[in-house]
Amino acid sequence: MLVHFSKEGFDKALDEGKLMMVDFWASWCGPCKMLSPVIDDLAGKYEGKAIVGKVNVDEEQELAIRYGVMSIPTVIFFKDGKEIDRKVGVMPGGAFEQVLDGNL
Amino acid sequence: MTYDIIILGSGPAGLAAAVAARGRDKSVLVIGNRWQDSPLARAERVDNYLGLPGLTGSGMLETFYQHAVGMGAEFVMGKAISLMAWEGFMVTVGSQVYQGRALILAPGVVRQAKYPGEEEYLGRGVSYCATCDGMLYRNRSVIVVGRSPDAPQEANYLHSLGCQVTYVSPQPPKGLDSAIPFVKAGKLSIKGEQTVTGLEADGALLPCDGVFILRQTVAPTDLLPTLETQEGYIKVDRSMATNVEGVFAAGDCTGLPLQVSKAVGEGHVAALSACEYLDRKQEQ
């Protein structure tokens, strides 16, 4: 299931320390829309193994600033509450799966 | 809606492909710059196009464009900034996404090499999309490197969002908001630490948080990293198919000679091959 994070929800999930993949996006961004079905697909595929979510940088500017998001879409991976990897720009699902599989 | 064929490029190759594909009753979307911005539009006289000697480059382009419009091809003016193979192909122009079942690349040749530091800082201060990333630079200083006719509009947009914009280009821009300072420079290099800290322009360092590099086209190999090339040109077979399934290429981007008649012929072949590909796919 895909999670739409608020700042509170994000911080709570981060504290739990599980493997997380978070897509930073905004509605004005075409490439973000393009990546959206890929993220949805991964949310289903990794159900129970990793938390897959999205952060709207328009609504949650604090999170975007905290993680220095300078270009969207940016997908950031977290484990044990820390950033372990990030991918900037549109890429095929396999690129994200590789990071997830390597950290399960 | 999903188009049968999306064509990237509105020069002779792309327009010939559009006409041929419409002739086979396929739905066609052409994504490209205004035909007035094609390098061919600057040709004063073209004498080697069969049967039509003595035309100006812009005269040819306008005739080709009207032909494609008359055949029912649809057009989107703008630059494809990202591309993804997903149930066919998705192409982004600004904040819009377009879908197609087959793709024809006809972007011409990109004559601009990347700047030092550009790849390194991509996504860490370097951006190709003002629409996408402008909001992330509100109240911060950005430099627009203007290498396309629509770059001043993009700079004005960033200014309107509240970015502190400086415009850098080799020639004075047309249509730039007078509140935006212009720096004339051609030799550029992007500087930074973790993220971008400045742009070196003809030896002078201009501090900034972000650099928007706006060229006329995004190179096909940047849109589609798995695309095979040979000596800088897209590798194609006799049917104008590339190594990527469902992707065809035509015109200057496939190699020499960079001539209108060669581009038109290749565009025609690429479109017929794309139509065959679609028909075969539908039978399966």
Beta bridge partners of B264: none
Q: Is residue B241 part of a domain?
A: yes
Cβ-based neighbours of A73, under 8 Å, separated by 6 or more? A23, A24, A25, A29, A31, A32, A35, A88, A89, A90
Please indicate, yes or no, whether residues B178 and B236 belong to a single structural domain of this protein.
no
Question: In which band, very low, low, confident or very high, does the pLDDT at B110 lie, cut at 50, 70 and 90?
Answer: confident
Residue in this structure with the two tokens 């201060």, named with its chain if needed: B125
**Residue B245 near residue B6, CB atoms below 8 Å:** no
Q: Is residue B50 part of a domain?
A: yes
Please indicate, yes or no, whether residues B209 and B277 belong to a single structural domain of this protein.
no
Contact list, B122 vs chain A (CB under 8 Å)? 71, 88-89
pLDDT score recorded for residue A22: 98
Select the residue from A58, A59, A71 to test the B interface by mutation, using most B Cβ atoms within 10 A: A71
pLDDT score recorded for residue A7: 96
**pLDDT value at B113 more than 90:** no
**pLDDT value at A39 more than 90:** yes
Considering only alpha carbons, which residue of chain B is nearest residue A62?
B136
Cβ-based neighbours of B177, under 8 Å, separated by 6 or more? B152, B155, B156, B159
Domain limit, last residue, from B198, B215, B232: B215
Please indicate, yes or no, whether residues B20 and B75 belong to a single structural domain of this protein.
yes
Please indicate, yes or no, whether residues B144 and B264 belong to a single structural domain of this protein.
no
Answer whether B15 touches A (CB < 8 Å): no
CB burial of residue B223 (10 Å; 0-12, 13-18, 19+): buried
Instruction: Report DSSP state, residue B180.
Output: S
Please indicate, yes or no, whether residues B70 and B40 belong to a single structural domain of this protein.
yes
pLDDT, tens digit, for every residue of B248-257? 999 999 999 9
pLDDT score recorded for residue A1: 86
**pLDDT value at A87 more than 80:** yes
Nearest residue to B198 (alpha-carbon basis) of B211, B186, B185, B187: B211
Question: In which band, very low, low, confident or very high, does the pLDDT at A92 lie, cut at 50, 70 and 90?
Answer: confident
Please indicate, yes or no, whether residues B72 and B147 belong to a single structural domain of this protein.
no
B96-105 and B89-93 strand pairing: antiparallel
What Rg do the C-alpha atoms of chain A give, in angstroms? Answer: 12
Predicted TM-score (pTM) of this structure: 0.90
Can you tell me the distance from the alpha carbon of B60 to that of B235, in angstroms, rounded to the nearest whole number? 27
Domain limit, last residue, from B155, B180, B215: B215
pLDDT score recorded for residue B96: 92
Nearest residue to B189 (alpha-carbon basis) of B173, B206, B201: B201
Cα dihedral B125, B132, B29, B68 sign: negative
Q: Is residue B97 part of a domain?
A: yes
Q: Is residue B117 part of a domain?
A: no
Give the CATH number for residue B278. Answer: 3.50.50.60
Mean pLDDT over all residues of chain B? 95
Please indicate, yes or no, whether residues B169 and B72 belong to a single structural domain of this protein.
no
Question: In which band, very low, low, confident or very high, does the pLDDT at B60 lie, cut at 50, 70 and 90?
Answer: very high
The interface pTM score, or ipTM, of the predicted complex is: 0.85
**Residue B191 near residue B198, CB atoms below 8 Å:** yes
Please indicate, yes or no, whether residues B84 and B144 belong to a single structural domain of this protein.
no
pLDDT score recorded for residue A85: 96
Please indicate, yes or no, whether residues B98 and B146 belong to a single structural domain of this protein.
no
Range of the domain at B133: 126-215
Nearest residue to B273 (alpha-carbon basis) of B255, B253, B248, B250: B248
Answer whether A48 touches B (CB < 8 Å): no
pLDDT, tens digit, for every residue of B32-43? 999 998 989 999
Cβ-based neighbours of A79, under 8 Å, separated by 6 or more? A17, A18, A19, A20, A103
pLDDT score recorded for residue B87: 86
CB burial of residue B95 (10 Å; 0-12, 13-18, 19+): middle
Token pair in block for residue B252: 């200057």
Beta strands in A3-89 (DSSP E): 3-4, 20-25, 51-56, 74-79, 82-88
Question: In which band, very low, low, confident or very high, does the pLDDT at B216 lie, cut at 50, 70 and 90?
Answer: confident
Contact list, B133 vs chain A (CB under 8 Å)? 29, 70-72
**pLDDT value at A24 more than 90:** yes
Question: In which band, very low, low, confident or very high, does the pLDDT at B95 lie, cut at 50, 70 and 90?
Answer: confident
φ, ψ for residue B256, nearest 5 deg: -70, 160
Q: Is residue B133 part of a domain?
A: yes
Domains, chain A, ranges and CATH? 2-103 (3.40.30.10)
pLDDT score recorded for residue A52: 97
Q: Is residue B162 part of a domain?
A: yes
pLDDT, tens digit, for every residue of B143-162? 999 999 889 999 999 999 99
Please indicate, yes or no, whether residues B200 and B222 belong to a single structural domain of this protein.
no
Q: What is Dmax (Cα atoms) for chain B?
A: 61
Q: Is residue B193 part of a domain?
A: yes
pLDDT score recorded for residue B86: 84
Domain limit, last residue, from B180, B215, B250: B215
Answer whether B99 touches A (CB < 8 Å): no
**Residue B150 near residue B170, CB atoms below 8 Å:** no
Beta bridge partners of A87: A75
Question: In which band, very low, low, confident or very high, does the pLDDT at B203 lie, cut at 50, 70 and 90?
Answer: very high
The domain total for chain B is 2
Size of interface A-B (CB pairs under 8 A): 85
Nearest residue to A22 (alpha-carbon basis) of A77, A65, A61, A72: A77
Please indicate, yes or no, whether residues B69 and B138 belong to a single structural domain of this protein.
no
pLDDT score recorded for residue A75: 97
Q: Is residue B157 part of a domain?
A: yes
**pLDDT value at A79 more than 80:** yes
Please indicate, yes or no, whether residues B167 and B204 belong to a single structural domain of this protein.
yes
Q: Given the residues A2, A3, A26, A29, select the one marked as catalytic.
A: A29
